[in-house]
Amino acid sequence: MSNDTKQNVFEDAAFNIETSAPDGPKFADELRQRYDAALPDDLPVITELISKYLIMRKRDRGDLVQALDEGTSFLLDGTQWESVQDWFWFSDVKDRVDTFALAWVLGAWRVEETGEIVKLEAEK
């Protein structure tokens, strides 16, 4: 087993392209830029309802603690808060809270039902 990261392997490949191909340096630089801008391979996966909830809470400029607060009550596309709460607090609670928190921090996730990747744009 090696201690190489994916980034280490990528950098080795880019270096080899730079040194062996005529347009290698330009191509390797473009690859580095694309790699830096790319989303992680292992995005968190959340349900469509929770995706809508996360988007709504982010747009309201709420914070993660508020988003996880079980005392909050509101309507979300006609779905009562209890459905959101059920997702968090019933079965594999820690995994779901961790998954939600990771999606919150990354600002990107995959919707379970559709496979769609949602990426929130950073506020300016």
Within 13 Å, how many C-alpha atoms sit on residue 32's CB side? 14
Question: Residue 7: what pLDDT?
Answer: 79
pLDDT values of the chain reduced to their tens digit, one per residue, 124 residues:
567 667 777 888 888 787 887 777 887 788 788 888 878 778 999 988 889 888 888 888 778 887 877 545 555 555 556 677 777 776 666 788 889 999 999 999 999 999 899 998 765 5
Ranges of each domain in the chain: 6-37, 45-119
Residue pair 56/72 in contact by the 8 Å Cβ criterion = no
In whole angstroms, what is the distance from residue 49 CA to residue 88 CA? 12
